[in-house]
Amino acid sequence: MKELANCKIFFFGTSFFSEKILAHLTSQLQIELLVTMPDKPVGRKKIITAPSIKKWALKNNLPIKQFPKIDQSTLSFFQKEKPDLIIVASYGLILPVKLLTIPRFGCINVHPSILPRHRGATPIQTTLLKGDNETGTTIMLMDETMDTGDILNQAKIPINPLDNFLTLQDKLISATNQIILPTLNNWVQGKIKPQKQKHAQATYTKLIKKNDGLIDWHQPAEIIFNQYRAYYQWPQIFSFWQNKRIILEEIALSDKNPVYPPGKIEQENGKIFVGTLTNSIQLVKIRPEGKKTMPIQDFTRGANNFIDSFLKNK
């Protein structure tokens, strides 16, 4: 990796996914600079909080830059610094063409899907929402539009039906870290011929909003369970009972129980089920509004009228 080791490399990233990619790269490469998003207010108290990747970089003595936007002054900084290579993973801003042309080896993006499927900002969640049985990671050259650049390498992985956002993210981090250094090394040595994407086969993700976690019990159970998997970290799935929000912390698909009306709460053999358009969803753990997470049986002991009532969407 002599050629790669001699490169001046900048890394752009903000998420937990990008933090783990950066940690792997720095174990074998000199990364000159981390570029991440500015600190932002978090939670109800709006406490100004740094991205976790910034905390990691500070702990590991890696220089950091945070730009609220990429304007002319930002471009001037990079033009002066002249990095040989920029690696991007879940950064948070679209890089303008003027920035993409600065590094002599270009800007390389890590995208956790098999492009051109699931272009956009939420590929892991979208993979789970769609019920895909396979996904992977793509290492690609960046161009002027999002996730449309030529492909340098890809790695595919199977999806377990019980995978959620966190477990699948971990698998994608591992898959990425297995191929990223060899790919970068081969690229700077001129050993890779970039492959055009099949643009006609492209699919796209959407930004996720907090209210996307609201469950419509008139949907099939499989779709509800895929929402649970996709939104496991945020925003989590939820419903309403007696006009109060209940977050469904843990649920399971059931195919052995009779079909109940959508939203109807029933008890059978000590287990609690909710009807959907198809088979039932088993409730395992919930977090009622203003309370801590608890097993569903603990909640029902204090809410005698929960069984035979309905979960609603408002």
- Say if CB 11 and CB 95 are below 8 A apart: no
pLDDT attached to residue 292? 97
- Say if CB 166 and CB 233 are below 8 A apart: yes
Q: What is the pLDDT of residues 73-114, one digit of tens each?
A: 999 999 999 999 999 999 999 999 999 999 999 999 999 999
Closest by CA to 259, choosing from 240, 281, 242, is: 281
The CA dihedral of 99, 103, 106, 111, to the nearest 10 degrees, is -70
pLDDT attached to residue 314? 85
pLDDT attached to residue 257? 63
Separation between Cα atoms, residue 216 and residue 236, nearest integer Å: 14
pTM across the whole model: 0.96
Q: Residue 178: enclosing H or E segment and its boundaries?
A: helix 165-188
What are the extents of the domains in the chain? Answer: 2-201, 210-302
CATH T-level fold of 210-302: Methionyl-tRNA Fmet Formyltransferase; Chain A, domain 2 (3.10.25)
- Looking at the chain, which runs of residues are DSSP E strands? 9-13, 31-36, 40-42, 47-49, 64-66, 85-89, 107-111, 134-141, 151-158, 238-241, 244-253, 265-268, 271-274, 281-288, 294-295
Closest by CA to 251, choosing from 264, 232, 235, 270, is: 232
Tokens in use for 168? Answer: 């699948």
Q: What is the pLDDT of residues 288-310, one digit of tens each?
A: 999 999 999 999 999 989 999 99
Q: Which CATH architecture has domain 2-201?
A: 3-Layer(aba) Sandwich (3.40)
The parts of the chain modelled with pLDDT lower than 50 are none
Q: What is the pLDDT of residues 26-51, one digit of tens each?
A: 999 999 999 999 999 988 888 999 99
Q: Which residues contact 18 (CB under 8 A, 6 or more apart)?
A: 11, 12, 53, 89, 90, 91, 110
- Say if CB 207 and CB 121 are below 8 A apart: yes
- Say if CB 10 and CB 106 are below 8 A apart: no
- Say if CB 205 and CB 126 are below 8 A apart: yes
Separation between Cα atoms, residue 78 and residue 82, nearest integer Å: 6
